[in-house]
Amino acid sequence: MRVLLIQTPQVTRDVISLKGIEMPMNLAYLASGLEHPGDLLSAYGHDVLPESLELREKEPINVRILDLQFYQDPWRILSSEVRRFKPSLIGITSFTIQAKHVDRIAQVAKERDDDVLITFGGPHASALPGKSLSEMPHVDVIVVGEGEVTLLEIAGCVFSKNEGNSTNEVRHHLSKVKGIYYRDAGDKKEIKVSPPRPLIKNLDLIPFPARDKLHLEMYKPLFVNYWRLPSTGILSSRGCPYNCSYCSKAVFKRKFRMRSPENVLEEMRSCEKKYGIKDFRFYDDAVTISRHWVKKFCKLLIDQDTDYTWNAFSRVSDVTPAMLKMMKRAGCYHLKFGVETGSNHILKQINKTTTLQDARNAIKHTDEAGMESLAYFIINFPGESIDSMLNTIKFAKELNATYAMFFHCKPLPGSKLYADAVRDDTLIHTDWEYYGEEDPPVLRNQASYRETRNILRDAYNQYYLRPRYLMKWVKDIALNFSIEKIKRLFDGIKTFMPSRRQ
């Protein structure tokens, strides 16, 4: 049985040129689950459909990943791949800004083979399953939440068709699959909903992502996301216990689950042995949520004298000087912090549960530990004044992090901001292609694009052209000279400065 997993093409229309392509680790997880179903089902810890068990026993699954981010003409590549590979099942993933591509992908695939079953999963699909299916006539199934076991069960249903069942019988089997929205066998306009899919119980037992399905040499992330190449993303936990209003938790929800430090290190060792990878970026919402976990993980890296470099996301309230020094010793060179705003009032409004003083402490202590820091800021929250946005830029300059990035606020599907906007009828449109963080406002209670676009451009110019900032770089390079630091400085200049000028 053949399964084709597809990453949608990029949408590039940024105020800044964020050049970098990340590996679709979600697809690599799906691929490994399909090819090693026994390990996946052990991790899951719940009952599964007999069809998926029969599939495991009767026929191996041949999985390919097609990443359309690389191609100038992705539709020609897609058509050719479907024609050559002849998949029985296609799985597509997408963020909100790329969602417009999903139905076109499905349409191109159906033109080659009308019998192929097409699923759509990921953040956007999980946040708006019914709306997505109604807007995408060529998609058959929406996968909600964690997709590994759901896709395996769907594959079992498709395999039953290969055993002689009709298409309608396959759709009947789909009614037993948890965690999906799908079209009725008799009336394709009618959308059916199955019960929710339970979360995977033991993350340590999930097979490692199938990075061998990706062309690793083609992936070069944004310069702040790696220290040396080759590099890869890695995930040590799923879910986030916090409830910030701008954040979507449609896939992993708020239930926080961690892998053991030993299991994460085992994956890092595997990456080094198989692919020569010794540089990692943690995709977790915040690696530092559990200080006990961080301490144990860093001790493992230090005691085993590993030569790994890594970066991660963190909340500003989670780090301590002692923790940061230990992380530095363990190979961490860079932390990303969601500072968001220069207003304590807005921090409360968005339910961030941090303060400006937390941000000051986090950046200061990270700098003192000898690590880079990246501070993220969001401007134009609903009802935010121009003065408040300007204060955010002022606060960013006060913090003086190694890097800063600024974005327009967008109500992402799955977030409280989006739910509030739907409830209050403040959405201007749902043209997802223009939900990027540098696109015009989509809420009626936001400042105009003319005002905020200029603020966004000025933020970068003000931040990166300051004497204090430039002197920080000169001092850092003088004290800790390395070719990598020089490369990162020039990458930063190329990324942030040329596209600022009009």
Query: What digits encode the pLDDT tens for the residues 300-317?
Result: 999 999 999 999 999 999
Quote the CA–CA distance of 154 and 142 in Å, as a whole number.
Answer: 11
pLDDT of 450 = 84
Least confident among 63-67, 368-372, 427-431, 461-465: 461-465
Residue range 221-500 in CATH 3.80.30.20: yes
CA distances from 408 to 11, 377, 379, 434 (A): 16, 9, 5, 12
Q: Please state the domain extents for the chain.
A: 2-193, 221-500
Architecture of 2-193 per CATH? 3-Layer(aba) Sandwich (3.40)
Q: Cα(484)–Cα(486) distance, rounded to whole angstroms?
A: 5
Give 482's pLDDT tier (boundaries 50, 70, 90). Answer: confident
Q: How many CB atoms lie within 10 A of CB 381?
A: 24
User: For residues 327 and 314, is the Cβ–Cβ distance under 8 A?
Assistant: no
- In 3-state terms, what secondary structure has residue 117? strand
Per-residue pLDDT at 156 exceeds 80: yes
Other beta carbons within 10 Å of 111: 12
pLDDT band (50, 70, 90) for residue 222 = confident
Averaged over 134-162, what is the pLDDT?
A: 91
Mean pLDDT value of segment 9-35: 80
pLDDT at residue 178 tops 70? yes
Fold match, 2-193 / 221-500: no
pLDDT in tens, 317-332: 999 999 999 999 999 9
pLDDT at residue 72 is higher than 50: yes
What is the per-residue pLDDT for 13? 52
Q: Give Cα separations from 312 to 239, 249, 337, 369 (angstroms).
A: 15, 19, 9, 15
What the block records as the tokens of 448 is 């105009």
Q: What pTM was estimated for this model as a whole?
A: 0.93
Question: Is 277 in contact with 307 (CB distance < 8 Å)?
Answer: no
Q: Rounded CA gap, 341 and 344, in Å?
A: 8
Residue 287, both tokens: 């690696």
Nearest Cα neighbor of 413 from 422, 401, 405, 402 is 422
The per-residue pLDDT for 501 is 36
* DSSP per-residue codes, 419-462: HHHHHHT-B----GGG-STTSPP-BTTS--HHHHHHHHHHHHHH
